[in-house]
Amino acid sequence: MNNPVIITAALTGAGDTTGKSEFVPVTPAQIAESAVQAAEAGAAVVHIHVRNVDTGQGSREVSLYREVVERIKETGIDVVINLTAGMGGDLVIDQEDPLKPVDGTDLVNGLDRLPHVEELLPDICTLDCGSLNFGEGSQLYISTPDMLRAGAKRIQELGVKPELEIFDTGNLWFATKLIEEGLIDAPPLFQLCSGIPWGAPPNPGLLQAMVHMLPDGANWASFAIGRDQLRWVGLTAALGGHVRVGLEDNLYLSKGVKATNGQLVERAVTIVESMGGKVATPDEAREQLGLKTRR
């Protein structure tokens, strides 16, 4: 832990979690309030999804992202904004007729996943670096090489830092290819995602192997979901990475105790500091990640 550890708070995600915890923020006002609480607790970065305010399901609606970002900025809180650009990759297969449209499918091309990024120009946006079987059943997340190259090029043109979401080793292999092709500006930022069925399992040895695969000079972070989230903070920090916590990935502070985003960030701060590390401020995060200064 030679550099200060950047803590990212992933505030809400798009999963079916709103009925499982009353603390999962849904409306733009709730998401923005949760972002502020996370920043006050020590998060340098907030990672933002938005949800349909009536159904609680994940959304790609630009106006919702705009409202969340505006509300955060109006508070004057200093925090790095990271918007998801992963929505629009869901494909659900009908077993009898694989080409039949099925409820739950929301599949658009790589550029159509970026309108909110183009309008709002966040500090960071995500780029999910491969396709995978997404949990049980017949849902897939689709992110093809052609989609990724188009998305990476557009994000580069916008001057936004892509966070390269790595769900398995093949994703990491392809992300390094994007760097070699000049589609990702230095220094690259990787997010190593563990425990999401059926990507990389939450195995410490596998995480270490993936870290060894990273290109020289890369910034990296890692997270695991559910009960592995908080132990992953210590493991990641020990390996020299940055960390992510939040209700997108885990609803509990301890067994049976539901958490808020602020509480999960506070726990991450405690873990990092108890290991002798320092938690990064937003300005320190901007410097480490090579973020562009915006007015």
Domain with 284, as residue range(s), is: 7-289
Q: Residue 198: is the preceding peptide bond cis (ω within 30°)?
A: yes
In a domain, 146, yes or no: yes
In a domain, 2, yes or no: no
- The answer for residues whose C-beta is within 8 angstroms of residue 205's C-beta and 6 or more apart is none
In a domain, 213, yes or no: yes
- The answer for residues whose C-beta is within 8 angstroms of residue 77's C-beta and 6 or more apart is 35, 36, 39, 40
Number of domains making up the chain: 1
The closest of 257, 251, 273 to 42, measured between CA atoms, is 273
Question: What's the pLDDT at 294?
Answer: 58
CATH code: domain of residue 212: 3.20.20.70
Question: What's the pLDDT at 295?
Answer: 46
Single pTM value for the model: 0.97
Residues of the chain where predicted confidence (pLDDT) is lower than 50: 295
Task: Report d(CA 214, CA 209) in Å as an integer.
Answer: 9
In a domain, 284, yes or no: yes
Question: What's the pLDDT at 279?
Answer: 98
In a domain, 159, yes or no: yes
In a domain, 1, yes or no: no
- Which pLDDT tens digit goes with each residue over 251-294? 999 999 999 999 999 999 999 999 999 999 999 999 999 997 65
Tokens of 50: 């938005």
Coil, helix or strand at residue 254: strand
